[in-house]
Structure 1
Amino acid sequence: MKLIIAEKPDQGSTLASQFKPKRHDGYLEIPPNEVFTDGAYVTWAVGHLCQLVSPEDYKPEWKKWSIDTLPMIPERFQYEVTRSKAKQFQVVKKLLKKPTVTEIIHAGDPALSL
């Protein structure tokens, strides 16, 4: 079964609309058909589900910005789930862990490099 991850709910709905999906909280389920013989799930990231932690979470002295503490470059960047998007993060995580999911399709905006 494929898991399609769109960037936003309306994009996910548009992608799944031709397959008469079953609605669930935070995702859509596409029944088996000619394109998705095992069916598929469509979910979304609602923009960015994670963000970099605040500078002071790395070092307390980075809470107040000053020329003495610049540049603020941690040894290893850390991320946290955006609080307002925690519920959708859990939906995506649950779908990713399903043993029936064998393929992930990125359906968000493409990253551009110049």
Structure 2
Amino acid sequence: MSVSTTCPRKPTYAGEVAVFRNPLRRSTFLADIAVRDKHGHLGWEPLAQDDPRARAAIAKQAKKNTGDTEMPNLKTVEGRREALRQADVSLRIEDLERDQASEAVFEAWVQGQVSEQEAIAQLLAD
């Protein structure tokens, strides 16, 4: 199975710059630019990391995030694990448990590989 390293959404106009998480390394961002092919169809082309448009778009995206692009420190990881432990206790009280799919999403969140918003979106998509 191959992993696409182009923007997962469709471009809306030529020249649009899209920033998205690198699917192979979730702690980094990639940038693509929308271009028209010889048939007039819009598609994504990767921008080099040193391209000023990519650098500006990635910097803007990084400012939007709340620090989730960096690996969390040990205290944060421990706090997230404690929050999950408490959630598991609450689930057991109601005779419920987390499934394998949510287990992977929560572990990625604990390790800082996905933001809280991304984790919620993945859980709701399942």
Normalising by structure 1, report the TM-score: 0.28
Higher-RCO chain (CA-CA 8 Å, sequence separation at least 6): 1
Higher strand share: 1
Normalising by structure 2, report the TM-score: 0.26
Higher helix share: 2
